[in-house]
Amino acid sequence: MELTAAERQVLNDSARPALALAMGIVVEAGRMLGAARLLSVASAHIDGCLYHGDSGVHFLERLVAGGGRVAVPATLNVGALDLLHPDLVGGEEHRRAMARRLMDAHVALGCTPTWTCAPYQAGHRPALGQHVAWGESNAVAFANSVLGARTERYGDFLDISCALTGRAPAHGLHLDANRRATVRVDVTGLSPALLRLDAFYPVLGAWLGAAVGGAVAVIDGLPADVGEDALKALGAGAAATGAVGLFHVAGVTPEAPTVAAAGGGAAPRETITLTAEMVRAARDRLSTASAGELDCIALGSPHFSAAETRTFAGLLAGRRPALPVYLCTGRHAVDELDRDGLRADLEALGVTFVVDTCVVVTPILKGGGGAMMTNSAKFAHYGQGNTGKGTLFGTLSDCVESAVAGRLARDESQWR
């Protein structure tokens, strides 16, 4: 790898041990990835805030002790605690104490305590073509696809190392050649009603990740006015079931004014025509439980936006859920909801807001077994393995009606 004189100086800077350690990690990762050089990044989103063991805490505290400080703006992904509702998260005291130390260490390094997996809805929106170092799979997909920024999938420890150095390996989705679509997904044969259904987009994402793996696809035929929350759900599903870090939507996303432009002028190597039957099969794979097992509703992976929460409240229409409802969101959304009193109104109806974390990554859901219902492909994909509860997938309206009825209530006609 070719390093600049300034990069070599940092690598061997004994006076700044945290910075030298971080640069060593970035350089060695670049070598393993086959990068020829490093590049400058404008920002970072740090995924390593979630406690997985004491070693992660000790690493971050070593960076703090060594005088580490982020060189670029850096937002923080979810932690393992809800700092606004400290009694909500279960677990033994050592785990809780170490989780708090890990979150505190990131703040001590100068990161912004956003505690959300949707930083792009909390004001962190890099510009088209800007190189960044982002972790968290859905955030990576959104930054690359919807914003047109450039990031690879940066994992724990490498993400904070990039933030401290302001450097990242020049490889993968940072490079033009790797951003061109090689697969065209044709959805023009699907009904307009299906394309307007909110739950279609997480299902499309779940199908896409399973179908293309890590390839870059261009989706042809989605409505030109498809909303940001729908694209958020699409990217999250694709990154959960596959390794999708970038997708294009023809006529919608910034690097794909046309199918040809998404491919860099080259025709896709493969075209997949998506049918209604394929969509329903992908939807059905997101449910692992039987209707009789339903005991809670879990929403917000990625974190719900304020707009999604208002849609949820409109569907609930002042009714009291008969089942526990957990709504995961970030402080940016809570602040907006508090201004018009909506959070208090929903909490009065029995809705539990989960902030700074989510129910699939930390012990919040009550009881063993049973099933949670969700409109999130990501929750559905990871739910059973992480919580022990089976999953039932449905539209947001299905989730609300099931919560109120206390049993599974799904409108199958929307999927025909």
Quick one: average pLDDT of 72-84? Answer: 97
pLDDT of residue 366: 87
Residue 309 tokens, joined: 């929460």
pLDDT band at 416 (very low <50, low <70, confident <90, very high): confident
Quick one: average pLDDT of 304-326? Answer: 98
Quick one: average pLDDT of 314-336? Answer: 98
Question: What whole-number distance in Å separates Cα of residue 198 and Cα of residue 204?
Answer: 11
Quick one: average pLDDT of 187-211? Answer: 97
User: How many Å from the N-terminal Cα to the C-terminal Cα in the chain?
Assistant: 54
CATH C-level class of 291-406: alpha beta
DSSP 112: B
CATH architecture of the domain 5-177 equals 2-Layer Sandwich (3.30)
pLDDT of residue 368: 77
pLDDT exceeds cutoff 90 at 190: yes
**Cα dihedral: 247, 286, 191, 185 (round 10):** 30
Structural contact between residues 382 and 299, judged by C-beta atoms closer than 8 angstroms: no
Residue 301 tokens, joined: 């992976």
| Domain residue ranges in the chain | 5-177, 180-284, 291-406
Quick one: average pLDDT of 5-12? Answer: 97
Quick one: average pLDDT of 282-291? Answer: 97
pLDDT exceeds cutoff 80 at 367: no
pLDDT of residue 89: 95
Contacts of 281 (CB under 8 A, 6+ apart): none
In this structure, which amino acid lies at residue 167?
R
Helices 54-65 and 17-33, interaxial angle, to 10°?
Answer: 120
Quick one: average pLDDT of 273-294? Answer: 97
Quick one: average pLDDT of 195-209? Answer: 98
Q: Please write the tens of the pLDDT for every residue from 41-53.
A: 999 999 999 999 9
pLDDT band at 160 (very low <50, low <70, confident <90, very high): very high
* DSSP track, 379-397: HHHHHHHHHS-EEEE--HH
Same fold, 5-177 and 291-406: yes
Task: Please indicate, yes or no, whether the overall pTM of this predicted structure exceeds 0.85.
Answer: yes
pLDDT exceeds cutoff 80 at 213: yes
pLDDT of residue 414: 87
Quick one: average pLDDT of 308-332? Answer: 98
Mean pLDDT, the chain, whole residue set: 97
